[in-house]
């Protein structure tokens, strides 16, 4: 029984018969429209993310099986938090605040790619990723929240396996997200003002020295790169007042 497999990456819920999927399936003489529909149904919950998909076809019976991989944990966290990017400086900036239910949902979605054996263990891996992204959990930095998890504070929730949120909880998350965005914008303005102050005070100094001063002030790397003065291109010296060498006279 011969089988052929095709691996593609598609946006969740948006597979089409266009390349790369359609042309790859065409020679196998199967119902491409049905395969596309099945893929979209299986990946609809991963909308907006790039999802690895494997389509395996039995070339004799034309039976099709579809295996859907999962995006990186960071992409799932961004989706759950409703953010486009992680904090540029996660040690000081917080860009989102998740509920424990959302962490558990990400862990369940990503469970095949995690090392933990239980939902609690798998969730702890997701909490670690939140730490590196500047994402709060239940109003706490990830490291503090992990301490509570290790103490058994959330054992009942892990045992229940509940991952869905009420309308009220979703509204709370939305309001908190708005507050964090405003806080982050205020911090950015503060960082930019400090960077501008350093650049002004060190006008004429070497770029390297200015960068070191900004790093000592603990400014985020992105702010530093955006604020550093650009090195001007050296202009050719003007020849004003210089005598142009005369060509040797020939006899």
Domain ranges within the chain, ordered by starting residue: 3-68, 73-165, 183-227
Any alpha helices (H) in 29-166, and if so which ranges? 32-43, 73-81, 100-109, 119-133, 142-151, 155-160
- Beta-bridge partner residues of 5: 56
Dihedral (Cα; 160, 161, 167, 171), 10-degree rounding = 110
Is residue 123 over pLDDT 90?
A: yes
Average pLDDT over residues 146-170: 90
Give the CATH architecture of domain 73-165: Orthogonal Bundle (1.10)
- Beta-bridge partner residues of 12: 47
Split at pLDDT 50, 70, 90, the class of 94 is confident
The reported pLDDT for the residue numbered 91 is 79
Q: Which CATH number applies to 3-68?
A: 3.30.1550.10
CA–CA gap between residue 83 and residue 233 (Å, rounded): 39
Opening angle at CA 42, ends 40 and 44, nearest 5: 60
- Beta-bridge partner residues of 54: 7, 67
The reported pLDDT for the residue numbered 231 is 64
Q: Assess contact for 207 and 227: CB atoms under 8 A.
A: no
Instruction: Give the list of residues 6+ apart from residue 84 with CB closer than 8 angstroms, or none.
Output: 78
pLDDT digits (tens, 9 = 90+) for 232-243: 544 445 444 445
Q: Which span out of 200-204, 217-221, 236-240 was modeled with the highest average pLDDT? A: 200-204
Average pLDDT over residues 221-226: 83
- Beta-bridge partner residues of 3: 58
Question: β-pairing, 64-68 with 3-11?
Answer: unpaired
pLDDT digits (tens, 9 = 90+) for 53-70: 999 999 888 899 998 888
CA–CA gap between residue 55 and residue 33 (Å, rounded): 13
Is residue 111 over pLDDT 50?
A: yes
CA–CA gap between residue 92 and residue 97 (Å, rounded): 14
Mean pLDDT score across all residues of the chain:
85
Asked if domains 3-68 and 73-165 share a fold, the reply is no
Average pLDDT over residues 147-168: 91
pTM > 0.85: no
């Amino acid at each position: 029984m011969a089988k052929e497999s095709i691996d593609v990456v598609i946006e969740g819920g948006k597979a089409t018969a266009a390349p790369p999927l359609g042309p790859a399936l065409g020679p196998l003489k199967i119902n491409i429209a049905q395969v596309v529909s099945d893929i979209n149904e299986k990946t609809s919950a991963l909308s907006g993310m790039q999802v690895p998909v494997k389509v395996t076809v039995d070339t004799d019976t034309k039976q099709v099986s579809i295996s859907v991989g999962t995006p990186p944990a960071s992409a799932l966290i961004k989706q759950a938090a409703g953010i486009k990017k992680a904090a540029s400086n996660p040690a000081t900036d917080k860009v989102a605040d998740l509920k424990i239910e959302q962490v558990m949902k990400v862990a369940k979605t990503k469970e095949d790619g995690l090392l933990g054996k239980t939902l609690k263990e798998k969730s702890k891996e997701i909490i670690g990723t939140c730490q590196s992204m500047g994402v709060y959990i239940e109003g706490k930095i990830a490291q503090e929240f992990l301490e509570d998890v290790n103490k058994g504070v959330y054992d009942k929730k892990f045992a229940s396996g509940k991952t869905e949120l009420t309308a009220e909880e979703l509204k709370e998350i939305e309001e908190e997200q708005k507050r964090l965005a405003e806080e982050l914008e205020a911090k950015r303005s503060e960082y930019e003002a400090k960077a501008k102050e350093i650049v002004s005070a060190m006008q004429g100094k070497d770029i390297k020295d200015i960068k070191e001063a900004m790093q000592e002030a603990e400014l985020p790397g992105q702010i530093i790169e955006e604020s550093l003065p650009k090195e001007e291109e050296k202009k050719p010296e003007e020849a004003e007042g210089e005598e142009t060498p005369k060509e040797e006279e020939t006899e």
